[in-house]
Amino acid sequence: MSDQIKTAALEWINENASLIADAHQRAWELAEVGLLEQETGKFLADMDALPGLSQEAVPYRQVRCEGGAGHGCGHCGYAASALGAALAVKEAIAAYGLPGTIKCFGCPAEETMIGKVFMVRDGVFDGLDACLGHHPSSVNGVSMGSSSAMNSVKFEFFGKASHAAGSPEKGISALDAVELMNVGVNYMREHVIQETRMHYVIEEGGHEPNVVPAYARSWYYVRAPERDLVDRYYAWVLRIADGADLMAGTTHTVLFQSGAHDTIPNRPLAEMVVANMREIGAPTYSAEELAFATELGKSIDREEKLTSLRRSDLPEALDLIDVDLNTRIYDPFGEDRKGGGGSTDVAEVSWNTPTVEFGTACFIVGSPGHSWQNTAISGTTIAHKSTLFAAKAMAATVLDLMTQPEALARVREDWEKRMEGRTYRSPLPAGLTPPLNQFGSQGKH
């Protein structure tokens, strides 16, 4: 009966493939950034695009909207695959009278670690038996490596304006404080574990050289393999900001944006996803699609591609040096990797219920994350096929969990073992509300 139910769900996805592809393409065209997803918010799951990555769906650099955003992380596919899977499972539940409830969550601002962190804190994910997510990738499979825990924080420095030439002695430069803080953090890098990542931008530093800046603002990400390390390094960064005040004569305000934990993987759930991927079969591509991928692949420097493959957790990764679209389906991989890379608010969910976020091949091999190449291919039928494949794998796995109590028990057991000695505590300060003006000025001028 379980196979019959899964077959019905997969057939529903086939019959409604154009609906799911249209949702994918519509989200790609809208390309709304985090917390500004007014139109994309009518879809579901991760949906935010990235500032400055506007790109036409062509295999060469061509901006679609000057200064606009683009789906360089493929969240248009994430949203559509979750929508398609949820609708297919809903149909199967109705047709076969299955007990249980499924939920499909609309999650804004994954890129800046906002959506799920606040949603978890507010109990939105409470009561789940398990949770599945999908992310476009260059790989079909499940990475068992943990993401980095992180804090996102802005620092506003306040000084005093004056004529930079006529009366510099009367000014206090907020920009000096920002730059001194940056120097301090850069010296700090030598004395943290190598998997740590700290990066920043200066969002505002003044308006003209002849005026001592009375206001300046920087935005920091502090990442490390585990949450307690982030807390330790973040406290160090806060002390450096205090030191910048002492040197520059400024005052400052800390604007905590969000934080995230490291991911808790789940091997039984990952193996279920991979088994369903193999049963369904990876997409095949037309000659036109393969030609597009080949042309796009020419924009990737071969040495950079080789370096990324060497850093990869994939088995036999170097065999992909001359491959553009990777159709292989991998066993769960990379469990030895702890941090040292990006972060995700999916981690917050994984600390509260068994969770897997799997990948389906959409991007070409060697393409950098958050790149125009990823934006370009996300607007093509190659990406549509990735999204449909993901929707099928997700729907099939959800139905396995609903119809096979013993499988769900194994998933829960694995999660409980990994959570031994761990207690979830939200990284958000008490009373913090989502920073809805995150990409705008937050200071007094």
pLDDT digits (tens, 9 = 90+) for 10-36: 999 999 999 999 999 999 999 999 888
- Domain spans, the chain: 2-147+263-418, 149-260
Tell which CATH classification among 3.30.70.360, 3.30.420.40, 3.40.50.1820, 1.10.3720.10 matches the domain 149-260: 3.30.70.360
CB-based burial of residue 169 (10 Å sphere; 0-12 exposed, 13-18 middle, 19+ buried)? exposed
Least confident of 185-194, 203-212, 338-347: 338-347
For residue 442, pLDDT beyond 70: no
pLDDT digits (tens, 9 = 90+) for 68-127: 999 999 999 999 999 999 999 999 999 999 999 999 998 998 888 899 999 999 999 999
Instruction: Return the CA Rg of the chain.
Output: 23
* Contact (Cβ atoms closer than 8 angstroms) between residue 158 and residue 252: yes
d(CA 17, CA 11): 10
Residue with tokens 């529903």: 12
Give residue 439's pLDDT.
66
For residue 47, pLDDT beyond 60: yes
Q: Would you say domain 2-147+263-418 falls under CATH 2.60.260.20?
A: no
For residue 51, pLDDT beyond 60: yes
What percent of the chain has a predicted confidence (pLDDT) above 70?
Answer: 98
* Residue 441 pLDDT level (bands cut at 50, 70, 90): very low
SS3 136: strand
Beta-bridge partners for 149: 224
For residue 175, pLDDT beyond 80: yes
Q: What is the mean pLDDT of residues 382-404?
A: 98
Q: How many H helices and E strands in the chain?
A: 13, 8
Average pLDDT, the chain: 94
Q: Which sign does the torsion angle of CA 279, 285, 290, 292 carry?
A: negative
* Contact (Cβ atoms closer than 8 angstroms) between residue 263 and residue 347: yes
pTM for this predicted structure: 0.92
Give residue 379's pLDDT.
97
For residue 145, give the nearest of 357, 409, 3 by alpha carbon.
357
Q: Determine the residue type at 208.
A: E
SS3 107: strand
For residue 188, pLDDT beyond 90: yes
